């Protein structure tokens, strides 16, 4: 489900209510999601206070008073929601309508201002997973990630280094979390459209012989940054069931230029193209064959 903007939206929804909350009880309704919960997971969370939240790529991180970090990846269908919790603004309270058979983890929290609440992880496909570690460098999931696209570590020169010699198409190169961390199927198509680059172009084509980034690669870095910033501002994209923890849905899907818009006119000014859908590495890619080259 969620790419970087959706995960950041989830984090922002959780942050004011979980920061400072103590985890009173931890109930695992099964022993695994995509992978088994780590050894001693429930015991390590119980009794701890959540001191802060963070995000790296598509990973949610909860920093605990015990010095441990608890990591949550949402896979395709993972969601966090509150229950038994009276929001001060009742309109923001999420009333789940679905059955609860995919509620895999239930935490009871107590917060000094917000009182008692349940925090529930639901994940129909169970592609999500969790981890627990002392230092970020201990986590296999965090170790190989490329730069955060909204940090200074991400720029065209840095992309050029990683694209150099890469025969893989742009689509695959941008989905590779070791190249840029946090893009997924939607925002790769959107970023490539913004930069007017075809998704089937070999990544190395955007690197000059000197190893320096081409102007087009600069445009791509800008496209990645702007689409992510705008999507975060819009609260992410809601396709099927994505919701922030407060129950609000995102609205960036209304601003997609190409994703899921096969057959529609290209939104680039004066472009007469029609959006096409192709399959790359088994997944849909959307692009304009006229203004992307």
Give the residue with the Cβ less far from DNA, 12 or 283.
283
Cα-Cα-Cα-Cα torsion 226, 230, 232, 237, nearest 10 degrees, comes to -110
Catalytic amino acids?
2-3, 58, 283
CA–CA separation, 100 and 97 (whole Å): 9
Please answer whether residues 130 and 72 qualify as being in contact, where contact means their C-beta atoms are separated by less than 8 angstroms.
Answer: yes
Q: Decide whether 155 or 284 has the Cβ nearer to DNA.
A: 284
Please report how close the Cβ of residue 240 comes to DNA at its closest, in angstroms: 3
Nearest-angstrom CA–CA distance, 155 and 144: 18
Q: At closest approach, how far in Å is the CB of 114 from DNA?
A: 26
- C-alpha distances in Å from residue 50, one per residue of 70, 71, 111, 134, 146: 9, 12, 10, 14, 27
User: What minimum distance in Å lies between the beta carbon of 216 and DNA?
Assistant: 18
Q: In 50-200, where do the E strands start and end? A: 50-56, 59-64, 69-73, 78-83, 103-111, 115-123, 129-133
The contact set with DNA (CB under 7 A) reads 1-3, 6, 34, 57-58, 73, 75-76, 101-102, 124-127, 140-141, 166-169, 172, 175, 177, 184-186, 236-242, 250, 281-284
Strand pairing report for 22-28 and 69-73: unpaired
Minimum separation from the CB atom of position 234 to DNA (A)? 11
> If we measure between CA atoms, which residue out of 60, 61, 64, 17 comes closest to residue 43?
64
Q: What distance in Å separates the CA atoms of residue 87 and residue 148, rounded to the nearest whole number?
A: 32
Helices (H) and strands (E) in the chain, counts: 7, 10
CB closer to DNA, 97 vs 113: 97
Distance, CA of 37 to CA of 168 (rounded, Å) = 34
Specify the residue, 109 or 258, whose C-beta has the smaller distance to DNA.
258
Shortest spacing between CB 204 and DNA, in angstroms: 8
Q: Which is closer to DNA, CB of 49 or CB of 77? A: 77
CB nearer DNA, residue 175 or residue 291: 175
Q: Least distance from C-beta 128 to DNA, angstroms?
A: 9
Question: Would you say how long the chain is, in residues?
Answer: 293
């Amino acid at each position: 489900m969620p790419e970087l903007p959706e995960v950041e939206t989830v984090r922002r929804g959780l942050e004011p209510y979980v920061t400072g909350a103590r985890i009173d009880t931890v109930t695992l309704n099964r022993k695994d999601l995509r992978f088994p919960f780590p050894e001693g997971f429930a015991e390590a969370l119980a009794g701890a206070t959540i001191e802060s939240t963070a995000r790296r790529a598509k990973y949610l991180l909860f920093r605990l008073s015990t010095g441990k970090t608890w990591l949550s990846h949402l896979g395709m269908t993972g969601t966090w929601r509150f229950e038994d919790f009276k929001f001060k603004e009742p309109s923001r309270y999420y009333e789940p309508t679905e059955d609860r058979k995919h509620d895999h983890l239930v935490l009871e929290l107590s917060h000094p201002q917000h009182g008692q609440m349940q925090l529930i992880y639901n994940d129909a496909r169970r592609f999500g997973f969790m981890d627990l570690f002392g230092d970020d460098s201990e986590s296999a999931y965090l170790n190989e990630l490329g730069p955060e696209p909204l940090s200074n570590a991400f720029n065209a020169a840095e992309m050029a280094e990683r694209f150099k010699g890469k025969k893989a198409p742009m689509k695959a190169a941008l989905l590779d979390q070791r190249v840029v961390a946090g893009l997924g199927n939607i925002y790769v198509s959107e970023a490539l459209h913004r930069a007017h680059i075809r998704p089937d172009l070999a990544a190395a084509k955007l690197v000059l012989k000197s190893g320096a980034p081409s102007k087009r690669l600069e445009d791509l870095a800008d496209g990645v940054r702007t689409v992510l910033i705008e999507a975060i501002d819009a609260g992410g994209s809601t396709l099927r069931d994505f919701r922030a923890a407060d129950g609000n849905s995102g609205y960036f899907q209304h601003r997609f230029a190409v994703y899921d818009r096969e057959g529609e006119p290209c939104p680039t000014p004066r472009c007469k193209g029609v959006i096409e859908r192709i399959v790359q590495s088994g997944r849909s890619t959307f692009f304009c064959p006229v203004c992307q080259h």
